[in-house]
Structure 1
Amino acid sequence: MQGTRHYAVVTGAASGIGREVALQLADVGWRLAVSDINTAGLEATAREVEARGAELVDATVVDVSDPDAVDAWAYRLAEAYGAAHTVHHVGGISIWGRVDTMPLEKWRSLIEINLMGTVHMVRAFVPAMMQAGPVPKAQRRKVGPRRLVCVSSSAGIIGLPWHAAYSASKGGVLAMCEVLRFDLAPYGIKVHAVAPGAVDTGLVHTIDIDGVDQANPRVRKARELFQGHAIPPARCAEIILKGVRKNKYLITTGGDIALARWAQVNAPSLYRGAMGGINRAFRWVAKDAML
């Protein structure tokens, strides 16, 4: 991307998928504006971006659940550098829990950060991208069209156990992207919805499973099995960026999610059986670990 003045925005850049997306974009010469709520992690990513020879136009601590903070960041970037070429909104949190015990504030946190955080990013960055219009053909051959990339989750598609609140927040992101892919097309903006499966990020080690003792041996064993199935964040970022380059709308990071999505429509009995089995296994793991 060297030789252009376009820049990409990446949220959640302090760790996990967001960090890897930022670094892999840096490796191919993108100018970058990065954010996260984690100051130390963001500073480390910023240093690494510059160490790889990419231009870091901005690194700002931003809470995406705060619309004023997101608006101020987007306004400052647009004033200094013009409309963003690509927005990779990766930042989010994960909390699981039973609907009969999970506190309302945890539901609200998921909605405020995952869903409303995406709304805030769209409202803050997309209008300037719309106003800027399609990238000229000569430049588009080098950098592609303007893009909005939103990371949802496989939990926004399939019925994973104890994911009701998390799935509500991520399913809303998918539904919004489904509309925006058509609403923004006349402005030359491609929309990409990402539904990762199991990814071995920091969230795996810190995830809040409400009401469950995560030191319990069964829970620890289940976590180890999950990590064994999960792909590294770097591989997840590779899949995302490859899907974006190929103009793929829905980007999944594993064949299991694509198969589950297919089964929902084409083999509902198989899908119900598989999801029921996963739910029973989850209850067995949590049986002796309830707080």
Structure 2
Amino acid sequence: MAPLLFITGASSGIGQAMAKRFYDAGYSLALVARRTAEIKSWADAQGLSVSRYQIYSADVADIHSIVAAGEACLQQQGVPDVVVANAGISIGMDTAVRSDLDVLQRTLATNNIGLAATFHPFVAPMQKRGSGRLVGIGSVAGIRGLPGHGAYCASKAAVIAYCESLRGELRASGVKVVTICPGYIDTPLTRQNRYSMPFLMSAQDFADRAFRAVDAGTSYRVIPWQMGVVATLLRALPNRLFDRALSGRPRKHRLDEV
């Protein structure tokens, strides 16, 4: 029986790239997104066998919605071997603007509550089976705060810390928690950025490296590795030097600028 991947945010970007990489490795797919028509069109274009995937409609920002999708997967396809909580949003914010507090709330609901809710239906069944991979998609942006990126950086820092906590909780169960922190990946999300993106890589290259990290059960991986070096150096910088280095850097588009 083919192993099973459950992945959110499968309607575009790295979600689709990861889904295809796992499919090519022999996995069946449980594809989750709000835009199910786009997933279907993509699956048809890729020539995916209809016997090897199912599509679930869910909004990860709605706990009931994403938990229901997970429960439907358990009933229809069984316990996944790998669950990837990939769905996320990235919008700039300015704390002085009242409406941007709503952006922060929405970002945390999607990137953090949604991640935990994605994992929730599968934790107990994986523990009972004694195996599985729960994969959280963080970001190098979660390693240090970037001006204008408060919502996104805070959410991705929380992803990293949450997955670390969960990894400790599940250590004795046979269930592995893998944290993947992408650098700059060429997707529709990053193409809106108005600043330089060092070590930009294709979604397909990212998916290949992420697959290998997940397959190995690696606890934490920055992709590409060069961004891991940069992030480590930035983390080591004293605050006064870090603040000076980031001074004047273009900020991420806010909601009313997108």
What's the TM-score once normalised by structure 1's chain length?
0.78
Measured in 2, the distance between the counterparts of 1:68 and 1:153 equals: 26
1:250-290 CA distance string (max 9 Å, x none): 1111244322443356x434x7535532332337x99xxx9
Corresponding residue number in structure 2 for 1:20:
17
Measured in 2, the distance between the counterparts of 1:280 and 1:65 equals: 33
Determine helix, strand or coil for the equivalent of 1:121.
Answer: helix
Report 1:194-209 matches (<5 A).
194-205=180-191
Contact 2:57/2:69 (<8 A) preserved: no
5+ residue gaps, structure 2, are: none
Corresponding residue number in structure 2 for 1:70:
66
For residue 24 of structure 1, report the CA deviation from its aligned partner: 0.8
Note closer, same or farther for the CA distance 1:261–1:127 as it changes in structure 2 (3 Å cut): same
Note closer, same or farther for the CA distance 1:280–1:127 as it changes in structure 2 (3 Å cut): same
Residue 247 (structure 2) pairs with residue 276 (structure 1):
no
Contact 1:7/1:30 (<8 A) preserved: yes
Letter in structure 1 aligned against 2:124: P
User: Which of 38, 47, 60 is matched with 2:56 structurally?
Assistant: 60
Corresponding residue number in structure 2 for 1:238:
208
Letter in structure 2 aligned against 1:204: T
User: Which of 23, 33, 54 is matched with 1:36 structurally?
Assistant: 33
Corresponding residue number in structure 1 for 2:89:
93
Letter in structure 1 aligned against 2:101: L
- Report which of the two structures shows the higher radius of gyration computed on alpha carbons: 1
Runs of 4+ off more than 3 Å: 52-55
For residue 233 of structure 1, report the CA deviation from its aligned partner: 1.0
For residue 199 of structure 1, report the CA deviation from its aligned partner: 1.1
Note closer, same or farther for the CA distance 1:160–1:20 as it changes in structure 2 (3 Å cut): same
5+ residue gaps, structure 1, are: 135-145, 208-218
Give aligned pairs, total: 254
Contact 2:133/2:217 (<8 A) preserved: no
1:124-169 CA distance string (max 9 Å, x none): 22222122223xxxxxxxxxxx101110111111222211111121
For residue 106 of structure 1, report the CA deviation from its aligned partner: 0.6
1:199-233 CA distance string (max 9 Å, x none): 111112457xxxxxxxxxxx4xx3xx43x752111
Report 1:157-236 matches (<5 A).
157-205=143-191, 219=194, 222=195, 225-226=196-197, 229-236=199-206
For residue 82 of structure 1, report the CA deviation from its aligned partner: 2.3
Residue 96 (structure 2) pairs with residue 127 (structure 1):
no
1:29-53 CA distance string (max 9 Å, x none): 101111111233211233245x245
Measured in 2, the distance between the counterparts of 1:5 and 1:184 equals: 24
Measured in 2, the distance between the counterparts of 1:20 and 1:160 equals: 27
Residue 228 (structure 2) pairs with residue 263 (structure 1):
no
Measured in 2, the distance between the counterparts of 1:277 and 1:88 equals: 34
Corresponding residue number in structure 2 for 1:214:
none
Determine helix, strand or coil for the equivalent of 1:166.
Answer: helix
